[in-house]
Amino acid sequence: MKRSAILIDREFLKHMPGRGHPERPERLRVLLDLAETLDPARFQLMPGRVASRSEIELCHDPKYVQLVESTAGLSQYVLDGDTITSPDSFAVALLATGGFLKLLDSVAAGESSNAFAMIRPPGHHALRNRAMGFCLFNTIAVGAQYLKTAHGATRIAIVDWDVHHGNGTQEAFYNDPSVLFVSAHQYPFYPGTGGVAEVGVKEGAGFTINVPLPAGCGDAEYLRVFRDVVIPAIERFGPQWILVSAGFDPHRQDPLAGMNVTEAGFSQMARAMLQLAEVYCGGKVAFLLEGGYDLTALRSSVAGVLERLQQSGGDKFPSDVGGEKIDPLIRAVLRTHDQFY
């Protein structure tokens, strides 16, 4: 099996949104420590690369990119109540986004079996012309558009298991049938979007699937969502690529949310993505770090996903997962989308 490509770069430490901010440099430090323990025969560590302006503008308005660029060198600039830049934040965001594109190139060329981008700041809340929720540029959305323009992809699935709804990613592809966006998230919760009825518009109708979970859900409920919603949706769509917004803030120890997922749950969700990628995408799958704010839980959860990246084959996704308490929600999601099949 080829090595997995891992994006990590000490330069990502230089984004400093301020003392006490949850999206702090320590999140990357624990992953730098983890990266040092990885077997180089199985994992190839890659530094970032600077994204070009045209690459960022695949998903962002040029005036917004100029606004973020104008914060370079300023001691602090508040783009949004939760999103604050420091002197190096613009450069870090370019390096993180470009690095993710480099990972996609590596997987596309067959040089890597799959990939995981350990980046900060996260991206899935960033809108076309607005920063939100700790996010400057929507890295995974840029990545999907890049796959279309640089690699000719016509069917890309994005799965978002961050505890917060990926509103920026949803917006980017809401009328686009070439991208299937599936999100399981705590609801009602920040940013307030991601209801069952949000399904896409025009040609994109049916290609956005939201599973708004109540607080308190754990491994059983998430695996039920994957068994009954995520996996069947991807099987119907038949993607050429799978991209995962891998937020680890649904973890039971995370201070910013109210879910109860464990390392084992994240590992099982990753296994499902890898197995689907083997069947439909020739293995082409890339994970990208979004949230996750308890440092111990973040490191151990990422470690579990990384271990999955280098496991080929294995048992099928379990059929008996529990989680019956969300059956009414699952039925509502499936009923909403029945009209599109």
Domain locations in the chain as residue ranges:
4-338
Q: What is the dihedral of CA 3, 119, 13, 293, to 10 degrees?
A: -110
What are the structure tokens assigned to 289, written together? 């770090």
Instruction: List pLDDT tens digits, range 8-30.
Output: 999 999 999 999 999 999 999 99
Q: How many CB atoms lie within 10 A of CB 119?
A: 27
Query: CB of 165 within 8 A of CB of 183?
Result: yes
Instruction: List pLDDT tens digits, range 95-104.
Output: 999 999 999 9
Fold (topology level) of 4-338: Arginase; Chain A (3.40.800)
pLDDT at 313: 67
Going by pLDDT thresholds of 50, 70 and 90, the confidence category of residue 341 is confident
314-317 own/partner pairs: CB under 8 Å, 24+ apart: 314/271, 314/275, 316/275, 317/223, 317/226, 317/227, 317/231, 317/268, 317/271, 317/272, 317/275
Question: What phi, psi does 289 have (nearest 5°)?
Answer: -70, 130
Statement: residue 131 has pLDDT above 80: yes
pLDDT at 319: 86
Instruction: Give the pLDDT mean for 71-93.
Output: 97
CB burial of residue 313 (10 Å; 0-12, 13-18, 19+): exposed
How far CA 339 is from CA of 211, 333, 335, in Å, comes to: 17, 11, 8
Can you tell me the distance from the alpha carbon of 15 to that of 136, in angstroms, rounded to the nearest whole number?
A: 11
Query: CB of 62 within 8 A of CB of 104?
Result: no
pLDDT at 279: 96
pTM of the model: 0.98
Can you tell me the distance from the alpha carbon of 288 to that of 118, in angstroms, rounded to the nearest whole number?
A: 7
Question: What phi, psi does 141 have (nearest 5°)?
Answer: -70, -40
Instruction: List pLDDT tens digits, range 300-320.
Output: 999 999 999 999 766 788 889
Instruction: List pLDDT tens digits, range 280-289.
Output: 999 999 999 9
Helices (H), 76-205: 89-108, 139-151, 167-172
Instruction: List pLDDT tens digits, range 235-264.
Output: 999 999 999 999 999 999 999 999 999 999
Q: Which of 125, 164, 251, 337 is catalytic?
A: 125
Instruction: List pLDDT tens digits, range 31-69.
Output: 999 999 999 999 999 999 999 999 999 999 999 999 999
Cis, peptide link before residue 191, omega less than 30° from 0: yes
pLDDT at 318: 85
Task: Return the higher-pLDDT residue of 1 and 275.
Answer: 275
Instruction: List pLDDT tens digits, range 156-214.
Output: 999 999 999 999 999 999 999 999 999 999 999 999 999 999 999 999 999 999 999 99
Can you tell me the distance from the alpha carbon of 189 to that of 119, in angstroms, rounded to the nearest whole number?
A: 24
Among left, alpha and beta (phi > 0; psi -120 to 50; other), residue 221 is: alpha
What are the structure tokens assigned to 330, written together? 């699952």
Instruction: List pLDDT tens digits, range 199-220.
Output: 999 999 999 999 999 999 999 9
For the chain, the average pLDDT equals: 97
Q: Name the strands in the sheet holding 156-160, side by side, starting at the edge strand that comes first in the sequence.
A: 43-46, 4-7, 115-117, 285-289, 241-246, 156-160, 179-186, 208-213
Residue 60 is among the residues annotated as catalytic for this protein: no
Instruction: Give the pLDDT mean for 328-339.
Output: 97
pLDDT at 315: 74
